[in-house]
């Protein structure tokens, strides 16, 4: 019933969010080092009750925005869901406030944008006179504003009044968390943004028991406490303070100092992986933001993989570009932000970029089934736009503490691609991943010598029984997750069939750092350490 009801509400919720900012919607662009003070309407006076404003701020590419904000929202201490007055911060510049943080009350906070865009806004639901509550079916109601009074408080000690207020606040907090979580979980299951879930939660009045094993608190609060201590949240944070009853009608003010700054370079961000599977498995949506597919303009089919390393450059394997249909940049295109090649609806981040130039290693060779210096760079005509789900892999620019180049024997690497699921078998539509073991060169040479194939210089071998890369996975990166970041340490090169008793051979990226830099001299790559 919940799912059906909420699906029916989705169009209304979406249009409601869009309409919120029709009368007050600002686009702001900052230059390097520029500072800007963004104040609420009528600052230092209060903004009008029942209004909303949005400010989309953008810095130059590869810079970030630093926010220092002070809020004074007239929110009741018992309004722990920020139902009447809410300030939103979206670090990714999402104008519909997906994954935003919600704040209310009074206090200060500092934030940085994830990339070069961020959005702040406020939404006031307060009214001068509370409307009568109108009950609808299935326990939906119009949100009622808390009534206030100017009469003298009831007799009793200050301690007694404070204790009563604290007990009431705790009860409201528990109730509000239950009802909000129920709505948020269901809305997230059907793919609704946090902003829509927030608005839908305003409609829900009476909680029901939640027996879902996935139930977790939807909000962790940041509070101004007398002793100065605080609790923080990675997803939603709020500033909640006690106010006299006279301020319950809503309104408030805020002031944010915004600055465009040059950050330490960023690379290798990704979603946290799911629990590893003993076999090849489907990657999580956007688990590999640097993953790209190389396709021909004529057929539109992914025939090799690649890894984004810069706005204009991707790493791939030289042997992918030997054919008549793949040997010229003018014939090629790359797709980024993709997951299911057969669907156009599972992600909004899929983009295609034409290849401007194709750079193969000058000493690439292919003899007796052995590939040497199997590495290539693809340069796109237009810059690849970064987002949370599309971005560059880190490169192994520096050796390990022992002076060796990554990856080391005994370590594991992760491969991903849209290759075939068996030798000569069908090509997968969905991005698959697998974890492979790096074996030492001596063991690899001994195994491959029986087939007459050696191990070329500047390469490494992987072998895991039952798991392997396969056809059309060539050119894709092999990643190590180091300090939470994906580092492209290898490029899928060649092997004997797929998942046999023979190891696969991969290009060692660390051996070609000088070559990569020489072919892209305008780029300053991130010096991420292992």
Q: Per-residue pLDDT tens for 169-184?
A: 454 444 444 434 443 3
In DSSP terms, 204 is beta-bridged to 140
pLDDT one-digit tens code per residue, 341-377: 998 888 889 999 999 999 999 999 998 778 999 999 9
- Is-catalytic flag, 374? yes
Active-site residue, selected from the candidate residues 319, 459, 468, 504: 319
Q: What share of the chain is helix, strand, coil (3-state, %, to 5)?
A: 15, 30, 50
Active-site residue, selected from the candidate residues 40, 106, 270, 474: 474
| Topology (CATH level 3) of domain 25-128+235-261 | Jelly Rolls (2.60.120)
Look at 22-26, 432-436, 495-499 and tell me which has the smallest mean pLDDT.
22-26
pLDDT reported for residue 127? 60
pLDDT over 90 at 135, yes or no? no
- Work out the burial of residue 47: count CB atoms within 10 Å of its CB; fewer than 13 is exposed, 13-18 middle, 19 or more buried: buried
pLDDT reported for residue 398? 87
Percent of the chain with pLDDT over 90: 55
Nearest residue to 526 (alpha-carbon basis) of 518, 183, 199, 517: 517
pLDDT reported for residue 390? 97
- Is-catalytic flag, 194? no
pTM for the model:
0.74
The answer to whether the peptide bond before residue 44 is cis (omega within 30 degrees of 0) is yes
Q: Give the three-state DSSP class for 371.
A: strand
Q: What are phi and psi of 381, to 5 degrees?
A: -70, -45
Domain boundaries, the chain: 25-128+235-261, 281-394+405-519
Percent of the chain with pLDDT over 70: 70
CATH number belonging to the domain at 281-394+405-519, selected among 3.40.50.10490, 2.40.30.10, 2.40.240.10, 2.40.10.10:
2.40.10.10
Name every residue whose Cβ is closer than 8 Å to that of residue 496 and which is 6 or more positions away in sequence: 451, 453, 502
pLDDT reported for residue 399? 82
- Is-catalytic flag, 474? yes
Q: What are phi and psi of 272, to 5 degrees?
A: -65, 140
pLDDT reported for residue 137? 35
pLDDT one-digit tens code per residue, 443-486: 999 888 876 677 899 999 999 999 999 999 999 999 999 988 99
The answer to whether the peptide bond before residue 470 is cis (omega within 30 degrees of 0) is no
Active-site residue, selected from the candidate residues 94, 181, 194, 374: 374
């Amino acid at each position: 019933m919940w799912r059906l009801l909420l699906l029916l509400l989705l169009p209304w919720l979406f249009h409601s969010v869009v309409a919120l900012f029709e009368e007050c919607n600002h686009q702001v662009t900052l230059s390097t080092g520029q500072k800007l003070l963004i104040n609420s309407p009528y600052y230092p006076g209060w903004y009008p009750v029942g209004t909303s404003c949005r400010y989309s701020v953008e810095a130059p590419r590869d810079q970030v925005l630093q926010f220092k904000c002070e809020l004074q929202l007239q929110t009741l201490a018992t309004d722990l869901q920020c139902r009447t007055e809410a300030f939103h911060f979206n670090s990714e510049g999402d104008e519909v406030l997906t994954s935003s943080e919600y704040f209310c009350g009074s206090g200060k906070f500092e934030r940085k944008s994830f990339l070069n865009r961020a959005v702040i806004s406020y939404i006031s639901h307060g009214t001068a006179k509370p409307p009568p509550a109108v009950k609808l079916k299935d326990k939906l109601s119009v949100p009622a504003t808390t009534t206030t009074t100017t009469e003298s408080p009831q007799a009793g000690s200050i301690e007694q009044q404070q204790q009563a207020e604290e007990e009431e606040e705790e009860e409201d907090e528990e109730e509000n968390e239950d009802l909000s979580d129920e709505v948020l979980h269901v809305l997230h299951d059907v793919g609704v943004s946090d902003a829509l879930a927030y608005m839908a939660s305003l409609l829900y009045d009476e909680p029901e028991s939640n027996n879902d094993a996935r139930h977790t608190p939807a909000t962790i609060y940041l509070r101004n406490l007398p002793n100065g201590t605080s609790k923080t949240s990675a997803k939603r944070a709020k500033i909640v303070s006690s106010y006299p009853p006279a301020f319950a009608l809503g309104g408030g003010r805020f002031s944010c100092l915004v600055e465009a700054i040059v950050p330490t370079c960023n690379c290798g961000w990704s979603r946290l992986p799911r629990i590893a599977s003993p076999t090849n498995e489907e990657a999580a949506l956007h688990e590999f933001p640097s993953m790209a597919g190389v396709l021909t303009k004529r057929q539109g089919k992914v025939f090799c993989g690649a890894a984004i390393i810069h706005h204009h450059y991707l790493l791939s394997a030289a042997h992918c570009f030997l054919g008549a249909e793949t040997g010229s940049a003018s014939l090629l295109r790359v797709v980024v932000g993709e997951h299911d090649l057969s669907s156009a609806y599972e992600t909004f981040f899929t983009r295609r970029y034409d290849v401007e130039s194709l750079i193969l290693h000058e000493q690439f060779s292919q003899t007796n089934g052995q590939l040497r210096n199997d590495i290539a760079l693809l340069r796109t005509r237009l810059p690849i736009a970064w987002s949370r789900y599309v971005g560059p892999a880190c490169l192994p620019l520096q050796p390990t503490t022992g002076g060796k180049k990554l990856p080391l024997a005994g370590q594991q690497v992760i491969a991903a691609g849209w290759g075939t699921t068996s030798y000569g078998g069908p090509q997968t539509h969905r991005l698959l991943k697998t974890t492979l073991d790096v074996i030492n060169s001596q063991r690899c040479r001994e195994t491959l010598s029986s087939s007459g194939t050696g191990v070329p210089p500047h390469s490494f071998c992987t072998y895991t029984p039952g798991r392997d890369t396969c056809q059309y996975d060539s050119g894709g990166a092999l990643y190590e997750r180091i300090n939470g970041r994906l580092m492209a340490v290898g490029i899928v090169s060649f092997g004997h069939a797929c998942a046999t008793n023979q190891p696969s051979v991969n290009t060692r990226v660390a051996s070609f750092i000088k070559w990569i830099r020489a072919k892209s001299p305008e780029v300053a790559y991130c010096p991420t350490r292992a």
